[in-house]
């Protein structure tokens, strides 16, 4: 890709980010209009108990997350050998169709099914787009390339999600999803025009891509990504009732809460990309403690509006910074299975999405209030951090054993053989 002009590279990256913008909108707009969806699709439950209806509507978010988890490894493994621009166009077209189905679903059950279908291309899109962006950026800037693709998702949380949430509150949640459908149609056209043709991995096979799942460190990275990031989604899923019922702010303040999260995610995304280029595992271990502290402070102070906005920014920043670090870590430990590794990050994060949404809804439905999901977030982030520390310890022990053993077939020297 070195023969491309800087302007062409910028337009190509912008087109890829626009696809990410659409994904951020389709994934996160439900958080801001969850009460409207619950009132429309679950009317009897809403009339009986609004909190129960909102908790049940959280299944839409869990269904999207489940679709990402299923789609990311399967689609990525199937398409790794095909030309990347062609695959990206097929994926954005699928997003357009799936989001339109979500907007038009007549019942709650069909809406859940539509959200699952709409999510299937999510991980494969980000995985392949990350590989294209890394190629466009050049050597030594892989983390920054990943962050640029993810920037569309984070900017969506600053601009797209709040605006579409406001549109959904004024014109109905279905209009909000039709707006997202339009974004995906534009992204498809932009990729067709701006992204250069790039071959797939001719040697890729489903078996080779899936071989990454035999590596222990891949599973560790998936684990601390899924569990740790679940802490963010436990909070973000219920940011609307947290803003109105807990902090006592009007419904019109919900988009501003989403702006705070989105600004934090945008700042954190670029910070995490740069940190990942200096050491992905080091970045993960440095970013978990401030995420845990932010979630703890939110659990204690969310009823105060100023603290709510500041802490939503902090939670968004530190959680988003972890994402490119985890994706880079997966690519570091996946060997030749780079397409699958790049996509698996989104499986992990959306397991966290589903886990956080489900547990957050469970504590609300149990009558523990809208601060309870923040406490769920603290527990999940602590568990993710513990798993990351375990991963580093296991990795170090494995490296020491390899150094002691030496190259295959080598006879250990006397100095390398433990005494006693």
What percent of the chain has a predicted confidence (pLDDT) above 70?
Answer: 93
Indicate the pLDDT class of residue 410, thresholds 50, 70 and 90. low
Read off the pLDDT of residues 327-381 as tens digits, 9 standing for 90 and up: 888 878 877 777 777 777 777 877 887 788 889 888 988 888 889 999 999 999 9
**To the nearest 10°, the Cα dihedral for 12, 15, 20, 21?**
140
Contacts with 217 (C-beta within 8 Å, 6 or more apart), sequence order: 333, 391, 394, 395
Instruction: Say how many C-beta atoms besides its own lie within 10 A of residue 299's C-beta.
Output: 18
How far is residue 114's CA from residue 118's CA, in Å, rounded to a whole number? 6
- Asked if residue 416 has pLDDT above 50, the reply is no
- Asked if residue 178 has pLDDT above 90, the reply is yes
- 13, 128, 289, 345 from 339: Cα distances, Å: 18, 6, 30, 11
CB 146 within 8 A of CB 276: yes
Domain boundary assignment for the chain: 6-402
CB 121 within 8 A of CB 75: yes
**pTM, two decimal places:** 0.72
pLDDT of 408: 55
Which helix (H) or strand (E) is 351 found in, with range? helix 338-365
How far is residue 356's CA from residue 226's CA, in Å, rounded to a whole number? 9
What percent of the chain has a predicted confidence (pLDDT) above 90?
Answer: 36
3-state percent breakdown (helix, strand, coil) of the chain, nearest 5: 85, 0, 15
DSSP-derived secondary structure letter, 415: G
Instruction: Say how many C-beta atoms besides its own lie within 10 A of residue 207's C-beta.
Output: 8
Instruction: Say how many C-beta atoms besides its own lie within 10 A of residue 252's C-beta.
Output: 12
Instruction: Say how many C-beta atoms besides its own lie within 10 A of residue 5's C-beta.
Output: 8
CB 382 within 8 A of CB 389: no
Task: Name the superfamily (CATH) of residues 6-402.
Answer: MFS general substrate transporter like domains (1.20.1250.20)
């Amino acid at each position: 890709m070195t023969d491309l002009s800087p302007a062409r590279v910028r337009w190509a990256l912008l087109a890829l980010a626009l696809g990410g913008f659409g994904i951020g909108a389709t994934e996160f707009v439900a958080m801001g209009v969850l009460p409207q969806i619950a009132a429309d699709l679950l009317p009897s439950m809403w009339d009986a108990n609004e909190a129960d209806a909102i908790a049940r509507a959280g299944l839409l978010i869990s269904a999207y997350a489940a679709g990402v988890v299923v789609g990311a490894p399967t689609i990525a493994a199937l398409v790794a050998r095909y030309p990347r621009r062609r695959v990206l166009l097929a994926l954005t077209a699928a997003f357009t169709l799936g989001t339109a189905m979500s907007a038009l679903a007549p019942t709650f059950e069909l809406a859940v099914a539509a959200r699952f279908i709409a999510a299937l291309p999510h991980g494969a899109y980000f995985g392949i787009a990350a590989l294209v962006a890394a190629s466009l950026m050049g050597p030594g800037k892989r983390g920054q390339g990943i962050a640029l693709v993810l920037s569309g998702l984070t900017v969506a949380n600053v601009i797209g999600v709040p605006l579409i949430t406001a549109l959904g509150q004024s014109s109905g949640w279905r209009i909000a999803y039709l707006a997202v459908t339009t974004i995906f149609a534009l992204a498809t056209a932009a990729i067709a025009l701006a992204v250069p043709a790039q071959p797939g991995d001719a040697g890729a096979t489903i078996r080779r891509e899936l071989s990454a799942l035999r590596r222990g460190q891949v599973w560790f990275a998936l684990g601390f990504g899924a569990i740790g990031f679940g802490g963010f989604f436990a909070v973000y899923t219920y940011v609307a009732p947290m803003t109105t019922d807990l902090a006592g702010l009007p419904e019109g303040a919900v988009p501003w809460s989403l702006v705070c999260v989105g600004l934090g995610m945008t700042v954190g995304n670029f910070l995490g990309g740069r940190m990942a280029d200096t050491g992905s595992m080091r970045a993960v271990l440095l970013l978990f403690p401030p995420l845990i502290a932010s979630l703890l402070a939110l659990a204690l102070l969310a009823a105060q509006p100023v603290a709510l906005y500041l802490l939503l920014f902090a939670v968004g920043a530190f959680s988003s910074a972890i994402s490119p670090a985890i994706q880079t870590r997966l690519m570091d430990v996946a060997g030749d299975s780079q397409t699958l590794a790049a996509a698996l990050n989104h499986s992990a994060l959306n397991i966290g999405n589903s886990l956080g949404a489900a547990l957050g809804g469970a504590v609300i439905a149990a009558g523990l209030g809208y601060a309870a999901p923040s406490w769920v977030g603290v527990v999940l982030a602590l568990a993710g951090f513990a798993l990351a520390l375990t991963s580093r310890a296991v990795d170090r022990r494995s490296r020491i054993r390899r150094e002691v053993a030496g190259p295959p077939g080598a006879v250990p020297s006397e100095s390398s053989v433990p005494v006693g």
